[in-house]
Amino acid sequence: MSALLESLGGPRPAVWLETAPPRGIAAAALLSKLAAVREHVGAINLVDNALGRVKMSGLVFASLIKARMPLPVVLNFSCRDRNRFALKSDLLGAAALGIDGVVALQGDRIAPDDGAGPKTVHDLDTLGLLALIADLNRGDTGEGRPPLKTLPQLLAGAVGNPNRKAIDRELDLLDRKAAAGARFVITQPVFAAATARPFLERARLRGIKVVLGILPVKRASMADYLKDRIKDLSNAREHLERYSGMSDEDARRWSIDENIRLMETLAPEVAGFNIMSGGGPSLAIELAQAWSRHQGPAGP
């Protein structure tokens, strides 16, 4: 069993810090921030050009993390931007670098360029990408050539959204992802225990580990953006409206306190928490540190 998967079955929920690679080529500042939190998290989860905003290659930044600190890295792979050949190539690169987990996802929708056609590729969907990962783990590159002599050992994950109003459809999709080879699932941010529990129960029945998305909110304007622009969070509207009129300092403090309470409630039911950066890692790091202090030292 992979060490990362084993950590998702531990006596305490694992804590992952989700962040984007840097926007340009300067990586030192972000690497320094991640190094400061390495005692408080069990892995770094790197998103793949989330919201269609171009960042440094996740594969390259993951290699920089692996070279500088003893932290597992989970790397997201979006079907949006690469065809199956590019995905195979990058997945083999991830295996060669010892990346600890890979996440198959569709990728955020982005608008087409005016006059330039769509920006997306979508040669594969999420289920197709999970099947491709399973093939590579068997040494099959799909080219009619002999199997690879050294087999990749890619731990496959997927994403899910407990917030959808059509939750039965989301749960059916979770079943299909588990059948296609996903061993863990990272969720969209959840703000209430009742929202998470139907998803957690289905995942438990399918033997798939859930790393629950936790998103600290920096300020009232961020809450407004999530409430008004992110359709997948429509049922979190009541929670997000509570930030209205708060100062930035009050919003940060209230968000940290609310998320600690939510994590404490759901800790016995989840394999891990994925603390999301939401535009920058500072508040996510603060929450990871606060949760670590709240938990106290691990037992013998």
pLDDT tens by residue, 178-216: 999 999 999 999 999 999 999 999 999 999 999 999 999
Joined together, the tokens standing for residue 6 give: 């084993």
- CA 3, CA 10: separation in Å to the nearest integer? 11
- CA 186, CA 108: separation in Å to the nearest integer? 15
Structural domain includes residue 115: no
Give the domain extent around 287.
Answer: 3-109+120-292
What does the pLDDT read at residue 108?
73
Q: 135-183, pLDDT tens digit by residue?
A: 999 999 988 889 999 999 999 999 999 998 889 999 999 999 999 999 9
**Closest listed residue to residue 82, CA positions, set 37, 24, 128:** 128
Number of domains in the chain: 1
3-state helix, strand, coil split of the chain in percent (to 5) is: 45, 15, 40
Asked if residue 113 has pLDDT above 60, the reply is no
Joined together, the tokens standing for residue 149 give: 């002599």
Structural domain includes residue 114: no
Structural domain includes residue 202: yes
- Percent of the chain exceeding pLDDT 90 equals 77
Structural domain includes residue 299: no
Asked if residue 296 has pLDDT above 80, the reply is no
What does the pLDDT read at residue 165?
84
What does the pLDDT read at residue 295?
85
Q: 45-68, pLDDT tens digit by residue?
A: 999 887 777 889 999 999 999 999
Structural domain includes residue 297: no
How high does pLDDT run on average in the chain?
91
Structural domain includes residue 79: yes
**Residue 115: band (very low, low, confident or very high) from pLDDT cuts 50, 70, 90:** very low
CB 2 within 8 A of CB 254: no
Structural domain includes residue 236: yes
CATH assignment of the domain containing 7: 3.20.20.220
Structural domain includes residue 36: yes
Please count the other Cβ atoms lying within 10 Å of the Cβ belonging to residue 162.
Answer: 28
Residue with tokens 């919003």: 251
**Residue 112: band (very low, low, confident or very high) from pLDDT cuts 50, 70, 90:** low
**Residue 232: band (very low, low, confident or very high) from pLDDT cuts 50, 70, 90:** confident
What does the pLDDT read at residue 298?
57
- CA 80, CA 54: separation in Å to the nearest integer? 13
Beta bridge partners of 294: none
Joined together, the tokens standing for residue 140 give: 């099959």
Joined together, the tokens standing for residue 286 give: 């603060």
Low-confidence winner among 69-78, 106-115, 154-163, 263-272 (lowest mean pLDDT)? 106-115
- CA 100, CA 71: separation in Å to the nearest integer? 9
What does the pLDDT read at residue 199?
95
